[in-house]
Amino acid sequence: MRSFEQHLNEFHQRDVEVVAISVDSPAESQKLCQSRGYKFPFLSDPKAETIRQYGVLHAKGGEGGKDIARPAEFLVDAAGTIRWVNLTDDIRVRARPESVLAAIDRL
């Protein structure tokens, strides 16, 4: 996520907003944003309702068997249509901002 923060201006130049979503509470997300200096929004989905709708739930994948979101990146247009997806089962593997920016440019 730090790398997305570092490229935030490049996303904004393309009229693209970066948004994160997790099962963490709003307070946990706010604490993370403050400690890491993230400027993009973090949405809280503690019941994983939206995470389930996008098909990225990793059931019992978190600490203590807590449900979490699989690492994923989506490009969603203004009409709500998903235009590009990057999914992984490995929390250590995520799309690089350069790859997402290239996907935006191809669209």
User: Taking residues 1-30, what's their average pLDDT?
Assistant: 91
- Determine the 3-state secondary structure of 61 from DSSP: coil
User: Taking residues 13-34, what's their average pLDDT?
Assistant: 91
CA atoms within 13 A on the CB side of 99: 11
pLDDT at 98: 92
What domains can you pick out in the chain, each with its CATH number? 2-106 (3.40.30.10)
Strand segments (E) across 3-77: 20-22, 42-44, 57-58, 68-69, 72-76
Percent over 70 (pLDDT), the chain: 99
Spatial separation of the C-alpha atoms in residues 14 and 1, rounded to whole Å: 19
Classify residue 69 by burial, with Cβ atoms within 10 Å: 0-12, 13-18, 19+. buried
